[in-house]
Amino acid sequence: MSDQRLSGKTAVVTGAARGIGEAIARRLAQEGAAVVIADIDLAEAQAVAATLPGAVAAHVDIANDASVAALADFVGGRFGHCEILINNAAILDMTGIETMTMAHYRKVLDINQDGAVRATLAFLPLIKAAGEGRRIVNIASIMGVRGQPDAVPYSTAKGAIVNFTRAIAADLGRYGITVNAVAPGFIDTRMAHLPDGSGHEHDTDWFKDIYLKYGRILLGRAGTPGDIAGPVYFLCSTDAAYVTGQILLVDGGVSATF
């Protein structure tokens, strides 16, 4: 049951047409926010927005300066304010150092790292001018705080998001704007499907053996997008008014083991 604690607030969620971003958008809308479903796939964004009261869809390519600026202009013109920015949009990439090229490395970082920077820069004037409850939440990953084979660009970008969160929290605290990150673990989304199309990583023998049979995930299961949406809502709520510069690992306990 919702208490509508975000009523009157505008929230922008990038990459909100599916997966974790969609779950976050739905939770924020449930709590009363007017949500902008921002995604590179406008048709999918429109389909999600149509199911949420007060939500609107908007196209954005977070790797493109002009596209991100246009999104901020749209939100400013439509709502006049923006209290909440969720930097969620990203691509999965599993590339190791031996097969990686600099061009590929830069492409992944341009989306997964610089995309959050672009959006923050574009929306900061709107957020600064808004009222109470101004929040920026970045979606990082446990791969940004732990090492994993064959994930150099992705892990590097998510690691940068971790410290980008702390750095801008230090800059924006003077305005009463909180900045935090949520770092998901293994989450059951479309992104978890194997690149070769052979199935889902959570159904593989290596996942079941390492993370379930031997207890690396303490709760014994992969997470759901809703498992991430709840903590993100908490960080956007008044309950988290004194929480900033923090990285919240939401991973079923996998980071607590070795």
- The residues that are catalytic are 154
Measured distance CA(133)–CA(131) in Å, rounded: 7
Measured distance CA(202)–CA(117) in Å, rounded: 31
Q: In Å, how far are 5, 41, 52, 55, 238 from 30, measured between CA atoms?
A: 9, 23, 8, 11, 16
Measured distance CA(21)–CA(2) in Å, rounded: 19
Beta bridge partners of 35: 11
Structure-block tokens of residue 5:
């604690």
DSSP code of residue 193:
B
Strands (E), 15-150: 34-39, 56-59, 84-87, 135-139
Structure-block tokens of residue 123:
């929306």
Measured distance CA(56)–CA(222) in Å, rounded: 31
